Chains A and B, each alone.
Chain A
Amino acid sequence: ELKVEQNPLFLSMQEGKNYTIYCNYSTTSDRLYWYRQDPGKSLESLFVLLSNGAVKQEGRLMASLDTKARLSTLHITAAVHDLSATYFCAVNRDDKIIFGKGTRLHILP
């Protein structure tokens, strides 16, 4: 059974700091997704990672994938308040897309 674990589940950080969210998964997969959800809103796709060593960047967010370690990271550089949201990773296994519990990120001005 595929399990997806994120940590931390809650993160409060100061603006300007760097931090990393981790996503571990339990069985092999070749597709990993990162989503953002603002309070009371739907989910928005951030990244799709397809292969070992894949790295994608958009603004202050950078995602990477290590399929051998079954680990993806979402790195936040010089955080700004607008990045406050809940971030989910999700993994595709046999066409089922299973989500982690999410990391609630609160960035203090």
Chain B
Amino acid sequence: DADVTQTPRNRITKTGKRIMLECSQTKGHDRMYWYRQDPGLGLRLIYYSFDVKDINKGEISDGYSVSRQAQAKFSLSLESAIPNQTALYFCATSPGPYTVLNRGWQETQYFGPGTRLLVL
């Protein structure tokens, strides 16, 4: 089974609708992230969370909100979807914090399979 799962994998919605993308992980990592990918723009960080009580804005948080329901679950919501939110959305996890002992070798991010969202 995949360590990082995202649901749904594909979604078509209409402008103004509320939509939630869900991410679950079985890696036991504290840190979770949401990114969006647009052609030619790479990945841009939307929100990130270092534990259940910690939520931080990324580069492009406007129009999005998140909820960290448990260590293993991190949801991204679009309160009122608009067409320029059409993109590929990735959830990622990583262990933390960085320590001298682990030398950061585990610190890489593990990505989910992505959710393709089309807003009409």
Contact = CB atoms under 8 A, between A and B. Distances in A.
Given A43-B90, A101-B41, A48 B59 contact: no
Interface string A87-98: 010100001111
Interface in B11-60: 33, 35, 40-45, 48, 50, 56, 58-59
B93 to A, nearest CB: 12
Contacts of A96: 45, 48, 56, 58-59
A31 interface: yes
B107 A31 contact: yes
A97 B109 contact: yes
B74 interface: no
B103 A50 contact: yes
Contacts of B92: 43
Contact of A48 (B45, B58, B107, B110): B107
A88 B43 contact: yes
A90 B104 CA distance: 14
Contacts of B113: 41-42
A98 B110 contact: no
Contacts of B33: 97
A31 B98 contact: yes
User: In this complex, which of B42, B58, B103 has the most chain A Cβ atoms within 10 angstroms of its Cβ?
Assistant: B42
A98 B33 CA distance: 11
Given A42-B111, A50-B104, 5 more contacts: A9-B40, A31-B98, A42-B114, A48-B107, A99-B35
Interface of A: 9, 31, 33, 41-45, 48, 50, 88, 90, 95-102
